[in-house]
Amino acid sequence: MSEFRRNPVFGNWIIIDTERNFSQEKHSVENGVEKSDTAYCPFCPGNESMTKPEILAFSNNPHRYPNTGDWKLRVVPNNKPILQVESAIKRQAYGIYDKMEGAGAHEIIIESPQHDLQFKNAPLEYYENAYKAAISRVRDLRNDIRFEHIFYMKKYGSHGNYPIGSHPHSQIIALPIVPKQVNEELDGALRYFNYKERCVFCDIILQEIDDGIRIIAENESFIALCPYASRYPFEVRIMPKTHKSDFDLISDAEMSALANITKTVQTKYSLVLDDCPGTILVHTAPLKKRNLSYYHWYLEIIPEIAVLGNIDKGTGLFVNPIFPEDAAKHLKG
């Protein structure tokens, strides 16, 4: 059972989740799967019984039974979820502190039956299915009024000795709180809106199109750029050109355009950064705020480029060794 604890000064919630394996000797902690479990992959076809019963599946076979093979994509609950959907949300005091049971949902989108499919080489249909499944899950989870925010995130590439990490998948995490960082982004956008009466993200898009030097790709619905104040080298943001605050309000046409530009960015990454792994994260409005005029959803991609001697941990101060204009120049090719 996991527990939420609130930092009494910063006000952010931390999740303590002891279901994760924790190895002191190796200074490492695994997310849901034993390090020794290299003999099998629970995400591979034929191993459907190793996951919890599927929530959603895409298949070309209209007669397919759930939890059998012959699928293109499956969504399953995480075997060792950070949060359990069954828990009630009970906030309570602990002296001067605050805590809460770890209610929420933690689902895995198994994006392909092919274990060794590389994200950068995946066909367009793969990207389309992945986004289609994610949006479908967000739209469904939104109906549970206990949830306040949903993260959709994907880690691609090889992340250390993490056996299932290499089977292409993404995660959906529904939370009973709005994370502090999400509220901060909303507050910042609202401050700008109150002052300018314009969406700051729409303004950013206009300036970026005007400047041109940080844009790496563009199509009818999206623009991909290296943000002006990039925290990480080769950080990329994919922004919808039409103002919308909620990821799950995306249209089918936009979904295809998003799949397309994601693939384009990954191709560019592979040319410049080789097989550098990374994280994709959707920034979207909290569930109970919708159609906001001051917020604008977007997708963030952070390659895992090691910055030795970096000082951001604890300080929150990011030092980026490359100007985003130069990163964009490399990626544009």
- Distance between alpha carbon 174 and the CA centroid of its chain, in Å? 12
138/173 Cα distance (integer angstroms)? 9
The least CB distance from residue 221 to its own copies, in Å, is 21
Q: Toward its own copies, which CB reaches closer, 124 or 311?
A: 311
Partners of 73 in the β-ladder: 58
* Closer by beta carbon to its own copies, 57 or else 240: 240
What one-character DSSP code corresponds to residue 9?
Answer: T
Q: What is the distance between the alpha carbons of residues 284 and 299, in angstroms, rounded to a whole number?
A: 9
Q: Could you tell me the smallest distance in angstroms from the CB atom of residue 267 to its own copies?
A: 16
Amino acid identity at 127? Y
Give 111 or 128: the residue with its C-beta nearer to its own copies.
111
Q: Rounded to the nearest whole angstrom, what is the least distance from the CB of residue 232 to its own copies in the complex?
A: 9
Task: Give the integer Cα–Cα distance in Å for 79 and 34.
Answer: 12
- Least distance (Å) between residue 227 CB and its own copies: 8
Look-up of token digits 């967000």: 138
Q: Retrieve residue 25's tokens.
A: 């000797």
| DSSP symbols for 90-148 | -EEEETTEEEEE-B-EEEEEE--S-TT--GGG--HHHHHHHHHHHHHHHHHHTT-TT--
The token duo for 244 is 């919308």
Q: Residue 107 and residue 73: Cα distance in Å, rounded?
A: 13
Nearer to its own copies, 67 or 272 (CB): 272
Q: How far is the CB of 154 from its own copies (least distance, A)?
A: 11
Tell me which amino acid residue 131 is. Y
| Least separation in angstroms between CB 253 and its own copies | 27
Would you say 82 and 17 are in contact if contact means Cβ atoms under 8 Å apart?
yes
- Shortest spacing between CB 119 and its own copies, in angstroms: 16
Amino acid of residue 172: I
Nearer to its own copies, 58 or 192 (CB): 192
State the minimum distance, in angstroms, from the CB of residue 316 to its own copies: 3
Closer by beta carbon to its own copies, 8 or else 46: 8
Task: Assess contact for 250 and 280: CB atoms under 8 A.
Answer: no
If the CB atoms of residues 72 and 332 are measured against its own copies, the closer one turns out to be: 332
Can you point out the beta strands (E) in 169-258? 169-175, 215-218, 222-225, 236-240
